[in-house]
Amino acid sequence: MNDHPGFHRGAPTRECVLGNARIVLRDRMIDNGWLAVADGVIAEIGEGPAPAGAVSCGGDLLIPGLIELHTDHLEHHIQPRPKVLWPIDAAIQSYDAQIAASGITTVYDCLRVGVDADNEDEAGERIVGIAAALGRAGEAGLLRVEHMTHLRCEVCSSDVLAALDNFLAHCPARLISIMDHTPGQRQFRDLDKLRVYYRGKLSMGESELEAFFAERIALHQANAETHRRAIVARATAAGIALASHDDTTLEHVAESLADGVAIAEFPTTAEAARASSEGGIAVMMGAPNIIRGGSHSGNVAAIDLARAGTLDVLSSDYVPASLLYAALELPRLVPEISLPDAIATVTANPAAAVGLADRGRIAAGLRADLVRVHLADCAVVRSVWRGGVRVC
């Protein structure tokens, strides 16, 4: 499962005991507990005073390492300004350090497949280079976090299949999301909001926008259905988990169910989220949506889904530190949600959604991915361990 293995300061800690901690288990809290790590896994969990020699956590929370299934933040490190490309190895180190400092121990790095208005990666050569650089850094033991690849496939793009095939021929992928950003569809069904978005992002005038919209609608008519079918077939054949991006209608959800989709990424309506949840698809929403109190695109608010019981997974999307922040806010905003259930949205639930059975919970025999969190005016990540090795 280690696509890009990790940061090594020696072998995994053979004997380590952490004590005086508020330990968040999947189904309950231990208000004063201790935890022993051996050979990179959790060996024992206890309540009360820790054995002699334990490292005190000072009464802080001890939670599982966070699992991030969707973050675009790597792009910001590689291209910090429009048309400014940063050296890729340096960008990866900066990104990895920020992810670790946010308490994330497993991250699915989003790489976009298919030419778009602000993505000119013909045939996916650029993303192959990024994944290869991540692989080299991992093999050299330079990464603090375990990195896996999440390919975001734009179904309307003319070259999406060629780029996807090129990537899979060279690099592994663990998750593929199916996206359609056609004007009038899904996330962008509100054309007025889309105009504002593209005027700001691409500095397009009105005539340019109209021409762009017409071009995208034509591409949708020509490619969307056939490309979706082909992408689903490739993912199914390769055993890669599938996500559907921005499902809006019951018809979208029915299609996702038929395709074997595991994750509903950012459904835009309450009815799509409810139907996904009822169909056994994990519903993922953005942590910034929780913190900001709503969607920046005008779609359904994540907190409303949490109140309705149809929110399973949080994603930091474009702000890595938002993942822990939002999870800790959930019990305050929705008192019916316990702290263990809130932490599960960023640990156990994402692990289950993508089949990671060895992490996501604090339990004997699971990997010792752990985060010590101090609660003050805001949550402070004090220490991070991955596989028993302290990485932050």
Q: Choose between 147 and 5: higher pLDDT.
A: 147
Q: 25 falls in which pLDDT band (50, 70, 90)?
A: very high
pTM higher than 0.85, yes or no?
yes
Q: Choose between 117 and 353: higher pLDDT.
A: 353
Q: How confident is the model at residue 203, as a pLDDT?
A: 61
Q: What is the DSSP string of 48-92?
A: SSPPTTPEE-TT-EEEEPEEEEEE-HHHHHH-SBTTBPPPHHHHH
Residues 6+ apart with CB under 8 A from 161: 227, 230, 231
User: Does residue 294 register a pLDDT over 90?
Assistant: no
Q: What is the pLDDT of residues 360-389, one digit of tens each?
A: 999 999 999 999 999 988 899 999 999 999
User: Does residue 6 register a pLDDT over 80?
Assistant: no
Helices (H), the chain: 73-78, 88-101, 125-139, 160-170, 191-202, 206-238, 250-259, 270-278, 287-292, 302-308, 322-333, 339-344, 348-353
Q: 208 falls in which pLDDT band (50, 70, 90)?
A: confident
Q: How confident is the model at residue 116, as a pLDDT?
A: 66
User: Does residue 226 register a pLDDT over 90?
Assistant: yes
Q: Choose between 210 and 48: higher pLDDT.
A: 48
Q: Is beta strand 175-179 parallel, antiparallel or unpaired with respect to 241-245?
A: parallel
CA-closest candidate to residue 347, choices 11, 61, 45, 93: 61
User: Does residue 52 register a pLDDT over 70?
Assistant: yes
Q: What is the pLDDT of residues 99-138, one digit of tens each?
A: 999 999 999 999 999 876 555 665 678 999 999 999 999 9
Q: How confident is the model at residue 299, as a pLDDT?
A: 87
Is 105 in a helix, a strand, or coil? strand
* CA–CA separation, 15 and 325 (whole Å): 31
Q: What percent of the chain has pLDDT over 90?
A: 77
Q: How confident is the model at residue 185, as a pLDDT?
A: 64
CA-closest candidate to residue 315, choices 324, 303, 328: 324
| Class of the domain covering 65-358 | alpha beta
Q: How confident is the model at residue 9, as a pLDDT?
A: 45
Q: 202 falls in which pLDDT band (50, 70, 90)?
A: low
Residue with tokens 């004090």: 382
Q: How confident is the model at residue 213, as a pLDDT?
A: 73
- Residue spans of the domains in the chain: they are 65-358
* CA–CA separation, 266 and 151 (whole Å): 16
Q: How many residues does the chain have?
A: 392
